[in-house]
Amino acid sequence: MVVTQTCLLSALLAWSSRSTHAFVQPSSSRSRVATANTVRFISQEDEGANGEVNGDAANGESAVAASTVGTISPSDPYSFIVPVVGDLHIDPRKMEDYSTGRDHLLSIIDDAKSTLGQHDNNNNDEDYDRVAMVSLGDLGESKNCDHNPDNPFELFAGTTQCHEMASEFLGSFGVPYEVIGGNHDLEGIDEFDSDARNLRRFLTSHDKETPQFCRQVAEKTLLVGLCSTIFREAKFTSHEVIIDEDQIRWFEELVKSKPADEGWRIFVFSHAPPNGSGIRIIQENHVVNGCCWLNHSDERNCRKFIEICREHRSIKGWFSGHFHLGQDYQDSITFPTIDPSEGPYPNRGSCVFAQTSVMRAGTSRDGRQQSRLLRGTRDGFEICTVDHKDDGKVRVDATITYRSETNEVGVYAHEDEAYDHDNYFKVYQPQFDDHAYVCSQDNEDLCMLVPDPITDETVAWWKLSCGRVLGVVNGMMLEYDKSTLAPLGLVMSHDCLVGKQVAIVDSGLEECLIDFEQDGMDGADCADGSETPNQSKEQAILVYDDDGVTVVQPNADGSYWRKIVRNKIARMKERRREKAAIDFATSYLPVQSEDEAKGKIKSTWGPYKSTSGVAKSTETENKELKVYTN
């Protein structure tokens, strides 16, 4: 892609004139933190029958071998380097951090190009760049950036101007780049009247033929990207990252054709992570609003991606952004399996999942400004941090050593540098038979969740006989995925739960308990069709205090978490109608100010109660008999 001196580079050059450091290439930094490495995952082949770690995986031999993994060489056909940038959220008024971050990555890229060369076909028919770059989407700021004088309300994200500016920025690093769309990249709602037209602009600006991508960067090594393609047409929150069915089919066919036993190594990139990845998330935002995981509101497709990882061990790494969290937390990287002493065996195939931070300070939730660096060789790969607040210092975060096509050993290269922040950002995730597992699906008739009223410190979870998993944490009731135990969404909010107690009771009639394996059983009409055969009983979740009992009803699909945040387009149009009402009231009603006019404006809805994009309350209206339903 040819880089032209347009508005983006003009903005970058304007910043460079203010600082003697801008566009000065710092010396390459490949520092390694000198701390004891900790073995973090092993293959099932390394586990004994009692769950103990066997052989080399326990004695540190893997750490020795790992020291050569990050040493790239032009003679190694598997050597490659890929910088990965998280949510850019470019604001054309605030380009200083992008200029600084660009300098840091350019230094790494130039060093890698001088080592590996721009192209290398290794005397084969293939011709590929061994140095490339990946952007994880959310390219523009989701607010008005004074970019369109004709429309002071237009959001910058998703516009033609946004995508052209992002294309120029990503194309200015001197290596091929790949990009996938996030939840804000089709947000050009004033310029485009459909997701399809907005998507075409995204593809055109970034010279892409399809939303997804597949790029070979080394011998039998692929970079694969999956793109969010739905915004206006989202059934629930527009901030859900939705991979369409065509891409899912394409992805499945691709990984089937590149099996691990033939030596293939696949690294996947998506804006949000898959359900089951286990990386750090934000309960107060992405969990309660139902936009943590890929295809979050679609139960089948939400779990699809981790199932693909479990089946296809050629998938070695998966990078995502979306949360705007830094890379200093140990659970910003998760391994396929862990030492049995640290918890149950999480089945993630052979895939290492990595959270990617942000470049600009104004977009960070925890003050970090970081990018990722992926370095691969014949023997394995390293996942590194490029710290934009520390002069672009490169820190090795994890080293993964291949021991066979389906057997890897991973080590963390540093301790958790953000330990003090653990409780603030990490969501409790249940584990079977942990201390908080209080009501199993086999409990008889009645289970009291905890003996005392719920507080902010209460941690407890249970599994219903139908297989659904719910829990209480931080004063809220959440639902968890029944396979991965990842949090799915809010069931009951803090204001409705704290100070009350929870009971799980048997609510089924004896004559409706059916053995589906026996022919001729009567009473089949008692089943609602949503439960699995051979379930033992029907249950009710009751939240109560001295003033009454609230019945927590499931949704129509059998789930419990409340999909109560609507599409952003609908909410935006409602707010604009309310603004028109305020203007009308100011002109035609006896009010003295706009603030007074706001106090006189009300809206009516169908089942919805506000224009808020955050799930704040789930309070019920019937004060006599409370039936808590969606």
Q: What is the pLDDT of residues 56-82, one digit of tens each?
A: 433 344 443 445 787 899 999 999 999
Predicted structure pTM score: 0.77
**Whether 249 and 184 share a structural domain:** yes
Distance between CA atoms of residues 365 and 424, nearest Å: 11
**Whether 505 and 577 share a structural domain:** no
Higher pLDDT, 338 or 560: 560
**Whether 584 and 556 share a structural domain:** no
Higher pLDDT, 466 or 34: 466
**Whether 48 and 131 share a structural domain:** yes
Q: What is the pLDDT of residues 475-497, one digit of tens each?
A: 999 999 888 888 898 899 999 99
pLDDT over threshold 50, residue 184:
yes
Of 302-306, 545-549, 584-588, 624-628, the one with minimum mean pLDDT is: 624-628
pLDDT over threshold 50, residue 198:
yes
- For residue 357, what are the CA distances in angstroms to 202, 257, 360? 22, 32, 10
**Whether 406 and 546 share a structural domain:** no
DSSP letter, residue 283: I
In the three-class reduction of DSSP (H, G, I as helix; E, B as strand; rest coil), residue 451 is classed as coil
Q: How confident is the model at residue 417 (pLDDT cuts 50, 70, 90)?
A: low
The predicted pLDDT at position 129 comes to 93
Distance between CA atoms of residues 250 and 245, nearest Å: 9
HEC string of 573-615 equals HHHHHHHHHHHHHHHHCCCCCHHHHHCCCCCCCCCCCCCCCCC
Higher pLDDT, 626 or 143: 143
**Whether 284 and 322 share a structural domain:** yes
> Phi and psi for 457 in degrees, rounded to 5?
-90, -5
Distance between CA atoms of residues 351 and 410, nearest Å: 11
> Is the residue at 148 inside a domain?
yes
Q: What is the pLDDT of residues 443-479, one digit of tens each?
A: 667 888 888 999 999 999 998 988 899 999 989 999 9
Q: What is the pLDDT of residues 358-389, one digit of tens each?
A: 999 999 988 999 999 999 999 999 999 999 99
Closest CA to 390 of 44, 43, 29: 29
Tell me how many domains the chain contains.
Answer: 3
Q: How confident is the model at residue 418 (pLDDT cuts 50, 70, 90)?
A: low
Of 224-238, 295-309, 401-415, the one with minimum mean pLDDT is: 401-415
The predicted pLDDT at position 513 comes to 47
Q: What is the pLDDT of residues 228-258, one digit of tens each?
A: 999 998 888 878 999 999 999 999 999 999 9
Greatest Cα-to-Cα distance within the chain, rounded to the nearest angstrom: 85
pLDDT over threshold 80, residue 200:
yes
> Is the residue at 430 inside a domain?
no
- Kind and range of the H or E run holding 319: strand 315-320
**Whether 552 and 580 share a structural domain:** no
Tell how many helices (H) and how many strands (E) occur in the chain: 12, 26
> Is the residue at 587 inside a domain?
yes
**Whether 360 and 450 share a structural domain:** no
Q: What is the pLDDT of residues 497-537, one digit of tens each?
A: 999 999 999 887 544 444 444 444 444 444 444 444 444 57
The predicted pLDDT at position 283 comes to 63
Which residues, in sequence order, are CB contacts of 125 under 8 Å at separation 6+?
A: none
**Whether 381 and 463 share a structural domain:** no
- Output the six-digit token pair for 548: 């009454």
CATH number at residue 230: 3.60.21.10
Compute the mean pLDDT over every residue in the chain, rounded to the nearest whole number: 79
> Is the residue at 1 inside a domain?
no
> Is the residue at 98 inside a domain?
yes
Closest CA to 289 of 87, 569, 478, 541: 478
**Whether 518 and 622 share a structural domain:** yes
Q: Provide the 10 A C-beta neighbour count for residue 122.
A: 15
> Is the residue at 93 inside a domain?
yes
> Is the residue at 279 inside a domain?
yes
Closest CA to 365 of 455, 429, 281: 281
**Whether 405 and 458 share a structural domain:** no
In the three-class reduction of DSSP (H, G, I as helix; E, B as strand; rest coil), residue 469 is classed as strand
**Whether 323 and 452 share a structural domain:** no
The predicted pLDDT at position 27 comes to 31
The whole domain housing 579 covers 572-611
Distance between CA atoms of residues 398 and 489, nearest Å: 30
Strand partners, 562: none
- Kind and range of the H or E run holding 162: helix 160-170
> Is the residue at 22 inside a domain?
yes
